[in-house]
Amino acid sequence: MHQLKIAALLCALAAGASGEALAQATDKPAAAPAAQSKGFTPPVPVGQTNNAPIDSIAVVVNDDVITRNELTERVRTVVQRMKAQNVQLPSEADLQRQILERMIVERAQGQLAKEMGVRVDDTQLDRTISRIAEQQKMTVQQMRNQLEKEGTTFAAFREEIREEIVMTRLREHEVDAKINISEAEVDAHIAAEKAAAAEQFELNISQILVRIPENASPEVIAQRKARADEVMRQLRVGADFAKMAATYSDASDALKGGEVGWRTPDRLPPVFAEALSKLKPGQTTAVMKSVSGFHIIKLVDKRSVAEAQAAASVQQTHARHILIKVTPAVSAADAKRKLTELKERLDNKAAKFEELARLFSNDGSAGKGGDLGWLYPGDTVPEFEAAMNGLKLGEVSQPVETSFGFHLIEVMERKTEDVSKEKARNAARNAIRERKLEEATEDWQRQVRDRAYVEYRAEDLKETK
């Protein structure tokens, strides 16, 4: 449920508005926060018995704290999630260290967001949660029931979504807005595509990153290199890559077994792409150094893709639709039944498509008679596109279910044309931006962590050097 929720959140954020290397505590002087006296514990809340667990400070992060209870609850949630994903668990100490480091970064980012006035009000939050529920083909109440069945309170879920939105907006301000792409870079990207071999490949990769703190001394760099070499030694004698990533990697994907996913070579640093080109699926690279740290990359799989053409011929479809959304008041059966009735009226020529769209469609296109204009492949969700492509000109579909609800679709026109030069340049620009964003986000998160004042309170939480 959690993975689906995050995927849906990203879609919702994209519609509405638009590996991380974690670092150690810095040694630079910083004013100690007010609440850092040894042995401080919060008073027992009213109604809590003396037998109840007493919370205490685990780590001080600037002027805020992470408590032992917060850490314990996060560990419980992550363990539950990793078991559901069949990811082999590292040792308890290693897992706690990974999770605590992530919480430190999150807390430092949250403080920065607060300083900058980035916030999400309840109205915006409710709209996002409604979109998430729609993506899951659920009502908000159904999603709430599912979460509580899995042991997550709806209040905690709301705050997690609020934090995700805040972090996305903070990153957009701090990173996205500062990405610049020159026309020369676009030209070079297009030229590289044209010069590529007839057959290109996508690579499914996983990684282990042992990061190097900013301004690290030669001794610290040597320690990190030794750690990466030890991980490499264990891999060579048969250690599980996913477990090694969850245990030792400092990247944001560590607790997913280091899974990065599918990447084309142009979205990887050249040194990584070159090393991976010599591997077969299942093999790993040697230890490689970057500005972020020491990397070990595994080639999980490899698949061929059609070569991108600067002026490829594509089919465009001019279509219109009538959408009935599924809501607490309108069930899926009701929506499908209503559209079946409307289709019968259209088949009997008892009404015009545009008139019914204006009267009954829940989409923004209703005012235009359901007209969606000219659509390129990929402009609509797969279920809609597949149904649309199967229609003849003037033919009206049966009710089609998508994540948005149920649709009646009519194809009005089709045409085949070459993708314009501007569309090709936009595609190149997007590919460059995505690559730069990954690198810039990783660097920014490292800087936020390195600038934070961090004090570990409990003896068993001392940072592993």
pLDDT at 146 over 80: yes
pLDDT averaged over every residue in the chain: 81
**Whole-angstrom distance, CA of residue 139 vs CA of residue 130:** 8
Whether residue 300 sits in one domain with residue 331: no
DSSP string, 215-250: T--HHHHHHHHHHHHHHHHHHHTT--HHHHHHHH--
Largest Cα–Cα distance in the chain?
82
Asked if 133 and 142 count as a contact pair (C-beta separation under 8 A), the reply is yes
Q: Is 277 a member of any domain? A: yes
pLDDT at 438 over 70: yes
Whether residue 252 sits in one domain with residue 339: no
Whether residue 377 sits in one domain with residue 286: no
The residue from 392, 416, 440 where one domain ends is 416
Q: Is 242 a member of any domain? A: yes
Whether residue 391 sits in one domain with residue 325: yes
Whether residue 328 sits in one domain with residue 263: no
Q: Write the pLDDT tens digit of every residue in 147-206.
A: 888 778 888 889 888 888 888 888 888 888 788 899 999 888 878 776 664 456 788 999
Q: Write the pLDDT tens digit of every residue in 324-359.
A: 998 878 888 999 999 999 999 999 999 999 999 999
pTM of the model: 0.43
Q: Is 216 a member of any domain? A: yes
**Whole-angstrom distance, CA of residue 300 vs CA of residue 260:** 10
Whether residue 405 sits in one domain with residue 323: yes
Whether residue 274 sits in one domain with residue 327: no
Instruction: Give the neighbor-by-neighbor strand order of the sheet with 313-324.
Output: 371-375, 313-324, 405-418, 400-402
Asked if 462 and 97 count as a contact pair (C-beta separation under 8 A), the reply is no
Strand partners, 316: 415
Q: 282, 268, 297, 253: which is closest to 102 by C-alpha?
A: 253
The pair of three-digit structure tokens given for residue 209, joined into one six-digit string: 């990153």
Whether residue 369 sits in one domain with residue 330: yes
**Whole-angstrom distance, CA of residue 332 vs CA of residue 325:** 8
Give the pLDDT confidence score for residue 346 in this predicted structure: 94
Cα→Cα distances 299→268, 348, 356, 420, 438, Å: 13, 57, 53, 35, 19
Q: 161, 168, 166: which is closest to 127 by C-alpha?
A: 161
The residue from 278, 307, 336 where one domain ends is 307
**Whole-angstrom distance, CA of residue 457 vs CA of residue 293:** 27
The pair of three-digit structure tokens given for residue 456, joined into one six-digit string: 């570990």
As to burial, measured by CB atoms within 10 angstroms (0-12 exposed, 13-18 middle, 19+ buried), residue 448 is: buried
Give the pLDDT confidence score for residue 5 in this predicted structure: 43
Whether residue 370 sits in one domain with residue 294: no
The more confident residue out of 2 and 374 is: 374
Q: List b or e across 227-260, with b for residues whose CB sees 16 or more CB atoms inside 10 angstroms.
A: bbeebbebbeeeeebbbbbbbbbbbbbbbbbbbb
Q: What's the DSSP call for residue 361?
A: -
Whether residue 368 sits in one domain with residue 339: yes
Whether residue 341 sits in one domain with residue 247: no
The residue from 273, 290, 307 where one domain ends is 307
Q: What's the DSSP call for residue 268?
A: S
In single-letter form, the type of residue at position 375 comes to L
Mean pLDDT in residue range 305-309? 47
Backbone angles phi, psi at 340, to 5 degrees: -60, -40
Q: Is 381 a member of any domain? A: yes
Q: Is 108 a member of any domain? A: no
**Whole-angstrom distance, CA of residue 239 vs CA of residue 225:** 19
Give the pLDDT confidence score for residue 151 in this predicted structure: 77
Q: Is 244 a member of any domain? A: yes
CATH code of the domain in which 291 resides: 3.10.50.40
Count of other CB atoms within 10 angstroms of residue 184: 8
Q: Is 291 a member of any domain? A: yes
The pair of three-digit structure tokens given for residue 442, joined into one six-digit string: 């990783």
The pair of three-digit structure tokens given for residue 345, joined into one six-digit string: 């009226």
DSSP string, 2-18: HHHHHHHHHHHHHHHT-
pLDDT at 18 over 50: no
pLDDT at 380 over 50: yes
Give the pLDDT confidence score for residue 313 in this predicted structure: 59
Cα→Cα distances 411→174, 319, 386, 389, Å: 43, 4, 12, 9
The structural domain count of the chain equals: 2
**Whole-angstrom distance, CA of residue 58 vs CA of residue 61:** 10
Backbone angles phi, psi at 301, to 5 degrees: -160, 170
Q: Is 29 a member of any domain? A: no
Mean pLDDT in residue range 364-376? 91
Whether residue 399 sits in one domain with residue 319: yes
Give the torsion sign (CA, 10, 11, 13, 18). positive
Give the pLDDT confidence score for residue 43 in this predicted structure: 44
Asked if 168 and 119 count as a contact pair (C-beta separation under 8 A), the reply is no
Give the pLDDT confidence score for residue 119 in this predicted structure: 83
End-to-end CA distance of the chain: 35
Percent of the chain at pLDDT exceeding 90: 33
Q: Which residues contact 109 (CB under 8 A, 6 or more apart)?
A: 167, 170, 445, 448
Percent of the chain at pLDDT exceeding 70: 82
Give the pLDDT confidence score for residue 226 in this predicted structure: 95
Asked if 446 and 341 count as a contact pair (C-beta separation under 8 A), the reply is no
Q: Look up the domain containing 357 and give its range.
A: 314-416
Give the pLDDT confidence score for residue 196 in this predicted structure: 62
Asked if 58 and 100 count as a contact pair (C-beta separation under 8 A), the reply is yes
